[in-house]
Amino acid sequence: MEDFSQWFHNILEEAEIIDSRYPIKGMSVWLPKGFKIRKYVLRELERLMDEDHDEVLFPLLIPEAELAKEGIHVKGFEEEVYWVTHGGMKELNEKLAIRPTSETAIYPMFALWIRSHIDLPIKIYQTVNTMRYETKHTRPLIRVREITTFTESHTIHERYDEAKGQVNEGIAIYKQLFDSLAIPYLIHDRPSWDKFPGADYTFAFDTLMKDCKTLQVATVHNLGDTFAKTFDIKYETADGDHKYPYQTCYGLSDRVIASLIAIHGDEKGLVLPPLVAPTQITIIPIIFKDKGDEVLTKANEIKNSLEEAGLRVNIDDRNIRPGKKYYDWELNGIPLRIDLGPRDLENNRMIITRRDTLTKEECSLNEDLVSTLNSYLSKINDDLKEKAWNFMNEHILEINDLDKIKDTVSSGNIGLIKWCGDDDCGKEIEEKTNLDILGVQSQTNGTCINCGKETKYIVSIAKTY
């Protein structure tokens, strides 16, 4: 893709996903079409979360004293917090932070709720808007100052190994979500300087955009007992001891929607995975003067039977040229199109076109249409997934020579390098190459690409958003 940034900007506008002309930097309006996609993404995420978490809703504002309690956490966010200082004309006694994330809103309440080991574990999540005064270049959905779709989970457990297990559960949930959206990912154990502020360790999901820059699309953090100690959250064990519990948190944002648009879309517009396509199938009746009724009756019959089976179908019977209808179908990324005209009825068939491949196939009207179309939709999802994973995997290259990193990665690849694991050495690699170490990918024996020390770590290095 020639100019990904421009293409992404255009598609958000032309497919009416969001309107980024809102007069505050980093904030946009969700338009009806975009909002529907967001709704189906959230529906899937909530389905996965609800299996083992309870949904809650915490306030937007956090007292300054609570936000300031956890030293490392507040340091990590101090440049990014928006403050409410006045109520009307009156200056507030205590400044109130607009949540950049909700640890410091939720954990004081955990301290009130948790008394005994029988109160544990607690696993909650909420989907809210958060605000971060991002200083890096903002981009719609990708780096925003108002994150409108922040689904954050917070869990608390008796033992450290349970928190470690929960990190794996968080990872497993996100894997399922990204698989169902056909978004490829690499999971990285972030280097210490890129951990979530206050976390013991952070695992991040990175995907590759079409301009070959990686985008962090989700993170899962093990918080250890740091926050429990800060917020004095204690529980009584079965033996009557008082202990600090262990915590995790994990979250994702509008970036998930950005990546599904960016990864699958093409020059003609959106290509939506069937699961989140607001309309999955559009029927275009080809109407000639005297045969209109018959075609429309059949189109409605097909629509009704597909809808009964839970599919999202529309009939595009607008009185405009078919060419314009096809153009809109392509732009909106509807996975399947059915063309139905008088000649098709005579031959007892319909023509199905796939949005992802633009290939056409004839299908007999005698077939079980529900199962035929469902199998088309699942094939589309599988093919989108395969194509996206192939694209990412083709851009991952092993590099053994420090001088080659910059060129190889800058020309559009994720590099795999051996690194000793020492922070200073890692930061030196980042400085020399002007790239980011994403974290450990796998292990092997070898020597560090920068300092030559023995190492077992293979890490990814890339240009990032």
Q: List interacting residues with ligand PR8 (CB under 6 A).
A: 101, 132, 134, 143-144, 147, 152, 196, 216-219, 221, 249-255
| Nearer of residues 219 and 450 to ligand PR8, judged by Cβ | 219
| Nearer of residues 185 and 326 to ligand PR8, judged by Cβ | 185
Cβ of residue 219: shortest distance to ligand PR8, in angstroms?
Answer: 4
Cβ of residue 67: shortest distance to ligand PR8, in angstroms?
Answer: 13
Q: Are 115 and 236 in contact (CB under 8 A)?
A: yes
Q: Are 205 and 174 in contact (CB under 8 A)?
A: yes
| Nearer of residues 178 and 250 to ligand PR8, judged by Cβ | 250
- Report the alpha-carbon distance of residue 365 to residue 431 in Å, rounded: 63
Cβ of residue 394: shortest distance to ligand PR8, in angstroms?
Answer: 24
Rounded to the nearest 10°, the torsion over CA 64, 66, 67, 71 is: 120
Cβ of residue 134: shortest distance to ligand PR8, in angstroms?
Answer: 5
Residue with the shortest CB distance to ligand PR8 = 251
Cβ of residue 413: shortest distance to ligand PR8, in angstroms?
Answer: 22
| Nearer of residues 219 and 413 to ligand PR8, judged by Cβ | 219
Cβ of residue 390: shortest distance to ligand PR8, in angstroms?
Answer: 24
- Report the alpha-carbon distance of residue 252 to residue 396 in Å, rounded: 24
- Report the alpha-carbon distance of residue 100 to residue 389 in Å, rounded: 32
| Nearer of residues 262 and 281 to ligand PR8, judged by Cβ | 262
| Nearer of residues 132 and 337 to ligand PR8, judged by Cβ | 132
- Report the alpha-carbon distance of residue 452 to residue 374 in Å, rounded: 54
Kindly tell me the sign of the dihedral angle through the C-alpha atoms of 115, 120, 126, 131.
positive
| Nearer of residues 49 and 217 to ligand PR8, judged by Cβ | 217
- Report the alpha-carbon distance of residue 185 to residue 276 in Å, rounded: 19
| Nearer of residues 229 and 318 to ligand PR8, judged by Cβ | 229
Question: Residue 285 pairs with which residues in a beta bridge?
Answer: 340
For the record, the structure tokens of 342 come out as: 């008088």
For the record, the structure tokens of 52 come out as: 């083992």
Cβ of residue 221: shortest distance to ligand PR8, in angstroms?
Answer: 6
Backbone φ and ψ for 383, nearest 5 degrees, come out as -70, -40
| Nearer of residues 105 and 384 to ligand PR8, judged by Cβ | 105
Cβ of residue 253: shortest distance to ligand PR8, in angstroms?
Answer: 4
Q: Which helix (H) or strand (E) holds 282?
A: strand 281-285
- Report the alpha-carbon distance of residue 262 to residue 5 in Å, rounded: 10
Return the ∠ at Cα 326 (arms to 320 and 332), rounded to 5°: 110
For the record, the structure tokens of 298 come out as: 């059949």
Cβ of residue 268: shortest distance to ligand PR8, in angstroms?
Answer: 27
3-state secondary structure 27-90: CCEECHHHHHHHHHHHHHHHHHHHCCCEECCCCCEEEHHHHHHCHHHHHHHCCCCEEEEEECCE
